[in-house]
Amino acid sequence: MPESPESAPPAGPAASGPATAGAEAAGPTRLPTAVLVLGVAVFALGTSEFMLSGLLPEVADDLNVSIPSAGLLISAFAIGMVVGAPVLAVATQRLPRRVTLIGLLAAFGIGHVVGALSSGYALLFASRVVSALACAGFWAVGAAVAISLVPVHARARAMAVMIGGLSIANIAGVPGGAFLGQHLGWRSSFWAVTLMTAVALVGVVLFVPRDSGAKGGTGADGARLRLADELRVFKDGAVLLAMATVVAFAAGTFCLFSYLAPLLTDVTGLSESWVPAVLALYGAGALAGTMIGGRVADAHMFGTLYTGLGGAAAVLATLALTAQFAVAAVLLSGLLGLASFLVAPALNARIFNVAEGAPTLAGASATSSFNTGNTLGPWVGGLVINAGLGYVWTAWVGALIALVGLGLAFAQSRLSAHRSRVIASGCQPVSSESSAVTL
């Protein structure tokens, strides 16, 4: 079976730096310090994105609002991420990417200062929207910078570092924020994120090269791209398939994960004290999956997608069948994190590979697609629960959505193989996979 064409040695200007197929064979490419700094920044961003889920009672009591109203702060952040990624990517198109990263981190930090000092719900809500927009923009531009700093054959590894920052945020940052909130007040969590953001900002200033990725809208050959040229890339079926696969991955995972805590207590019968440990196990599995996926996806793109999406569907279905057994539910929660996030680096790298002609919007598309799935998954799960089917059916529906993602990955593979044959026959390339060959 033909493997992913982008795992082949790059040709022409798509190769970044001196990396070649020979260099790849000699040993793995060492990632630049700047990529690691971006991962640290994502840790701060990810902690902020999810920490309010553990602080809702404290926020609601302090601001005299209901818990559902406090929960809207989480929804506001997610919607801000969906909208903010493409908007900020376009708005900062003419700025050097390093300057954009610095500005977005500064805005993100200021948003948390305002949040920590806010005396009312409205101001806190506004600060969350501003922080979400800055977070989305940083994800989009930061991903583009990370990709630009490494050769094609190390793209998934670079994305694994950024996604790994998010996984570590779920393991350490979010529980840490909840601990601070419970003992020092919820505002202390906002101050902690502000401090982490300041550290990341210093790292970006010191280690991200001034010419990293040039400006948004600059192609691999340094030529200036108009926004209309970038938007034209999204008429490509390969790009749309890649984005749809990301949506299915996130929706299938979060359809169940959003309701994992009540499933563990109401169906499995575990006490509430077990929930943080199981969530941490899920986070550890997600981190392990991200690191493994980052190592293997560059060479085995579609094999990684098949394994991760198929594995996630199998784990979700098995969890639906065995949710009443404590040992099975706990172990499968960790395996779900492993299987689901095994595909995350591959999905992000895939979008950059097929949207090579849209450097400004490729990262924004990956971010928006993920957060669209992150919004749809809990919504679909809520519909299932409200229909009276129970928490177990969120796992069944999540498995079905993951199978849809698997089908989309297969469609990507077939389209990629077809284009490789067209290119091998000497015809004009029809997409940004112009440097592809069939392995």
Q: What is the pLDDT of residue 435?
A: 38
Between 272 and 401, where is the model more confident?
Answer: 401
Q: Whose CA is closest to 332, among 317, 310, 308, 315? A: 315
CA distance linking residue 149 with residue 99, whole number of Å: 16
Residue 7 in this model has a pLDDT that exceeds 50: no
Q: pLDDT tens-digit profile of 281-336?
A: 888 888 888 888 878 877 788 888 999 999 999 999 999 999 999 999 999 999 99
Judge residue 197's burial from the number of C-beta atoms within 10 Å of its C-beta, 0-12 exposed, 13-18 middle, 19 or more buried.
Answer: buried
Report the percentage of the chain scoring pLDDT > 90: 23
Helices 121-148 and 67-91 pack at an angle, to 10 degrees, of: 40
**Residue-level pLDDT at 28:** 56
Cα 84 to Cα 78, 80, 129, 136, 148: the distances in Å are: 10, 5, 9, 5, 22
125 to 129, 138, 175, 189, 349: CA distances (angstroms):
6, 20, 22, 16, 33
- Average pLDDT over the chain reads 78
Q: What is the mean pLDDT of residues 405-431?
A: 74
pLDDT band at 175 (very low <50, low <70, confident <90, very high): confident
Cα(187)–Cα(85) distance, integer angstroms: 27
Percent above pLDDT 70 for the chain: 81
Q: Is 360:89 a contact under the CB 8 Å cutoff?
A: yes
58-113 pLDDT, tens digit per residue, is 888 888 887 667 777 877 787 788 777 778 777 777 788 888 999 999 999 999 99
State the Cα–Cα distance between residues 326 and 324, nearest whole angstrom: 6
| Residue 217 region by backbone torsions, left for phi larger than 0, else alpha for psi between -120 and 50, else beta | left
More confident residue, 66 or 394: 394
- CA nearest 382: which of 252, 263, 262, 259? 259
Sign (positive or negative) of CA dihedral 263, 266, 268, 274: positive
Cβ atoms of residues 361 and 355 within 8 Å:
yes
pLDDT tens-digit series, residues 136-171: 888 878 888 887 888 877 777 787 787 777 778 877
At residue 237, does pLDDT exceed 70? Answer: yes
pLDDT band at residue 116 under the 50/70/90 scheme:
very high
pLDDT in tens, 13-50: 333 333 333 334 344 567 788 888 998 898 998 888 77
The band of 127, judged by pLDDT with boundaries at 50, 70 and 90, is very high
**Least reliable range by pLDDT among 252-256, 275-279, 404-408, 422-426:** 422-426
DSSP H helical ranges for 19-120: 21-26, 33-51, 56-63, 67-91, 97-117
Backbone angles phi and psi of 72, in degrees to 5: -65, -20
pLDDT band at 228 (very low <50, low <70, confident <90, very high): low
Helix (H) or strand (E) holding 199: helix 186-207
pLDDT at site 29: 63
- The pLDDT assigned to 198 comes to 95
Cβ atoms of 8 and 436 within 8 Å: the answer is: yes
Confidence of residue 229 (pLDDT cuts 50, 70, 90): low
What are the structure tokens assigned to 3, written together?
């493997």
Backbone phi, psi, residue 96, to 5°: -60, 140
- What pLDDT is recorded for position 153? 77
pLDDT tens digits, one per residue of 327-345? 999 999 999 989 988 888 8
pLDDT, position 264: 87
pTM above 0.85, yes or no: no
Distance CA 53, CA 35 (A): 28
Token pair in block for residue 42: 């994502």
Least Cα distance to 6 among 380, 340, 434 occurs for 434
pLDDT of res. 327: 93
> What DSSP assignment string belongs to 327-391?
HHHHHHHHHHHHHHHHSHHHHHHHHHHHTTT-HHHHHHHHHHHHHHHHHHHHHHHHHHHHTT--T
pLDDT at 203: 92
The residue count for the chain: 439
**pLDDT for the residue 310:** 93
What is the structure's pLDDT at 48?
86
